[in-house]
Chains A and B, each alone.
Chain A
Amino acid sequence: MQAEAIDISFKTELLSLYQQMYLIREFEERSGEMYTRGHIRGFLHLYSGQEAIAVGAISTLEDRDYVVTHYRDHGHALARGMDPKHAMAELFGKATGSSKGKGGSMHLFQASRNFYGGHAIVAGHLPLAAGLALAARYKNTGGVALVFLGDGSVNEGEFHETMNLAAVWNLPLVFLLENNLYGMGTAVGRAHARGGDFDMAGAPYGIACAVVDGMDVLAVREVARAAIEKTRAGNGPAYIEAKTFRFRGHSLADPVNYRSHEEEMEWRKKDPISLLGDRLLQQDLTTELELLEIRETQDDVVREAIRFAEESPEPTEDELFTDIYA
């Protein structure tokens, strides 16, 4: 009886991971369409292909923990529980958006869920995460900070400064590097002294390092959970490299002429959503019908988010001058 109960809760958890990853994929692909139709402007960076990382890692966090991320941030916001309606409305620049239309795609925030961005200067957000980790420890909340960064961050000074500071101050901070192999259009190996070998990037600072298959949500979850437990226990910062691939261009303005179609097709075979779906089917934890129902429900959620964003009002003129100071 007990074993069965555990199974049911485990199954619910796995299906929740599937549902979250699919929601993000659908959100991203429909956002791309909305961009093409001119409803979304500015830059739009899609997370398609990398869903397992945000979903796997954030699923191990508690409410008191902090999440900070880079500008490819829709997936992290949704995984942290942002209402897709508010996220989509922000992409549309509407008054009902998470930042009232003042931040846009690259700057999603939800303070009530300890989700502090959405930052668009490469590696610029790492010190912020260190400060949140410091606050958590100073106030003895037992919380930790999880910061997502791209491969390009490794070549920024703020990466090294923050790693060093986090180690010197023994902060409860997990660095999760999403290595999608290209910093915009530059292959990682062309811009990094060790040819894009990031697996030991925390080692010079005495920070424990781990590498994980970023297409496998269960693997990400396991590695993230270990790192978060370690840092929560007071053992200092941790670093994880997740190997992944973005299925789309850097942004929707990117013609993607710096990498081959074949490379993309190889990675698409490792699609994190079908990888998990297939595994659940093989283990008889779900059925095709159940997965289909999940996908259709999430399609509706995204459709509803788009409808909400379309029907929402533009910010009023006076909003230009609010939120600069308290």
Chain B
Amino acid sequence: MPEINIRDALQMGHHEALENDPDVLIMGEDIGAYGGAYSVTAGLLDEFGPERVRDTPISEAAFVGAGIGAAVGGLKPIVEYMNLNFALLAFDQMINIGASLRYMSGGQVSVPIVYRAPTGGGIQLAATHSRSYENWLAAIPGMKVVAPSTPADALGLLRSSLLDPDPVLMVEHVLMYQQKGFVPDEHFIVPIGLADIKRPGSDLTIVSYHHAMVTAMEVADKLAARDVSAEVIDLRTLRPLDMPTVITSVKKTNRVLLLEENLKTGGIMGEIAAQIQENAFDFLDGPVVRVGAEDVPHPYNRGLEQSMIPSADKAIAAVSAAYGI
């Protein structure tokens, strides 16, 4: 297969899911006639019809909860949010119902639903459309959260999500739909909960995910020019976290940079930093370095927004300050 982008990989995943499993249906705002805000579902309505590709009213709580109910009733719904920021209107559904039913029913009820949502800043949509709340949902027992940064991971994780008997949220960074990459021709999946060592190295571990992976690779390139060998880990899943991969790497390199585009306060990297110091404290040559977005609402202005989102230079400066490299 020639290189394809993340949008195409996701569309392929939806198409094959609809084709292979009659219980799969997709619902969300403008996913049918319009083709999806980011065109992931374009063309599916024509091919599979309105029973299976369902445009919904702009009622996040209702259609997300209906997706949960459909899953409980034996279907395999994929519910697309137009933007993860709109999921705030349905947090009650996702948390109090979707993520809690199995536990509260003593294991009687399964909720095999897949939520998908564009997320992230960088395209000047200001505070209501740019935040990344996946770390909030990754804090909820009962939820699984995946965040692919390559087309192969997008397809492989979507396949795994559809096979999963529990609720899975897939977040898709708005800047990455055009990201190209190699996707194997033969069938494959990417297991939920498995990080990927994107680049091996010996002097510094960089842990990141999603669009911050682009920055992470840039950091690794720039450090390589200074003869610093960075190992770059793409988390790919935010819950459950693949901490063994992270800890093994940190024990090898003795230095770590945690890089995310979430607000630094409350970001997922705070949790990872805590687990590193719990499990690899004696292996560290210095403090855990954590770089995230500035703690401000996303601004509209391009220059301001770019200053808010972490850059490679900012991350390198933080690494140099901590480790003298």
Contacts and interface: CB of A to CB of B under 8 A. Distances in A.
Given A99-B106, A131-B67, A124 B62 contact: no
B25 interface: yes
B142 interface: yes
Interface string A91-117: 000000111111100010111100011
A117 B73 CA distance: 13
B174 interface: no
A164 B62 contact: yes
B280 interface: no
B118 interface: no
Nearest to B71: A131
A119 interface: yes
A110 B108 CA distance: 7
B105 A131 contact: no
A323 interface: yes
A94 to B, nearest CB: 11
A129 interface: yes
Given A127-B64, A158-B65, A162-B62, A324 B103 contact: yes
Interface stretch (A134-142, A217-225, A289-297): A134-142
B165 interface: yes
Contacts of A322: 107
B69 A119 contact: no
A121 interface: yes
Contacts, number: 147
A162 B97 CA distance: 15
A125 B93 CA distance: 8
Nearest to B50: A169
Interface residues of B, number: 41
Contacts of B166: 325-326
Interface in B208-232: none
Contact of B63 (A101, A109, A117, A165): A165
24 contacts: A66-B73, A102-B104, A103-B105, A117-B101, A118-B104, A126-B62, A127-B62, A128-B68, A131-B67, A131-B72, A132-B69, A133-B69, A134-B73, A139-B73, A139-B75, A145-B69, A157-B61, A161-B61, A162-B65, A162-B66, A168-B57, A325-B142, A325-B166, A326-B165
Interface of A: 66, 97-103, 107, 109-112, 116-119, 121, 124-136, 138-139, 145, 157-158, 161-162, 164-165, 168-169, 322-326
Return the 4 tightest CB-CB contacts between A and B, nearest first.
A131-B69, A127-B65, A135-B73, A161-B62
